[in-house]
């Protein structure tokens, strides 16, 4: 971790005028894409936005992964700037656990939507297990954002 903090990238993020704000901006755009689109999918599965067909939802998750990719790259750059602190921060580690759980939930839902969504169109109810997962996903991503923001303070 000390070596990571001594890299040129870490130095640029930590000390340059634009480093940290630019990378954090990319991080904000990434989370808007990932959490924004996954939240629409979750709320649709919970009965909102009735005009969005279930068969469109796996495509939204396909685009959401680009947001996560932005956040893995920008997050890794942010991480290098204070690697020792982040690896000892319970708030940050909890946030990363939430990001992992949220990503696993989306990765489970995507193929299931691809397989089953067409049957939900013709009146078959969304399985209770899928609704529970959608509600859990909303809570997980909300916690990821809250603990991501609180990392610098707690």
Query: Which positions lie near ligand HEM, rule CB under 6 A?
Result: 24, 27, 30-31, 34-35, 68, 71-72, 75-76, 78-79, 86, 99, 144-145, 148-149, 151-152
Q: By C-beta, is 37 or 117 nearer to ligand HEM?
A: 37
Q: Compute the least distance from the CB of residue 8 to ligand HEM, in Å.
A: 17
Q: By C-beta, is 31 or 57 nearer to ligand HEM?
A: 31
Q: Compute the least distance from the CB of residue 133 to ligand HEM, in Å.
A: 17
Q: By C-beta, is 19 or 30 nearer to ligand HEM?
A: 30
CA distances from 77 to 45, 48, 72 (A): 34, 37, 9
Q: By C-beta, is 34 or 134 nearer to ligand HEM?
A: 34
Q: By C-beta, is 13 or 45 nearer to ligand HEM?
A: 13
Q: Compute the least distance from the CB of residue 76 to ligand HEM, in Å.
A: 5
DSSP class of 54: G
CA distances from 138 to 25, 133, 141 (A): 23, 9, 6
Q: Which residue is nearest to ligand HEM (CB)?
A: 75
Alpha helices in the chain (DSSP H): 2-5, 8-15, 19-45, 57-81, 83-87, 90-121, 128-150
Q: Compute the least distance from the CB of residue 29 to ligand HEM, in Å.
A: 11
The token pair that represents 8 in the structure block:
């040129």
With 0-12 / 13-18 / 19 or more C-beta atoms within 10 angstroms meaning exposed / middle / buried, residue 78 is buried
Q: Compute the least distance from the CB of residue 154 to ligand HEM, in Å.
A: 10
Q: Do the beta carbons of residue 39 and residue 120 sit within 8 Å?
A: no
């Amino acid at each position: 971790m000390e070596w990571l903090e001594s890299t040129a990238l870490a130095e640029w993020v930590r000390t340059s005028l634009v480093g940290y704000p630019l990378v954090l901006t990319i991080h904000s755009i990434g989370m808007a894409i990932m959490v924004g689109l996954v939240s629409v999918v979750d709320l649709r599965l919970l009965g909102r936005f009735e005009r969005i067909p279930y068969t469109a939802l796996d495509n939204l998750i396909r685009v959401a992964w680009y947001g996560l990719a932005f956040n893995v790259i920008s997050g890794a750059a942010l991480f290098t700037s204070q690697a020792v602190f982040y690896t000892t921060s319970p708030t940050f580690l909890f946030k990363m656990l939430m990001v992992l759980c949220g990503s696993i939930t989306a990765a489970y839902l995507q193929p299931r939507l691809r397989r089953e969504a067409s049957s939900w169109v013709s009146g078959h109810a969304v399985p209770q297990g899928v609704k529970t997962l959608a509600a859990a996903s909303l809570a997980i991503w909300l916690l990821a954002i809250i603990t991501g923001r609180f990392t610098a303070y707690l």
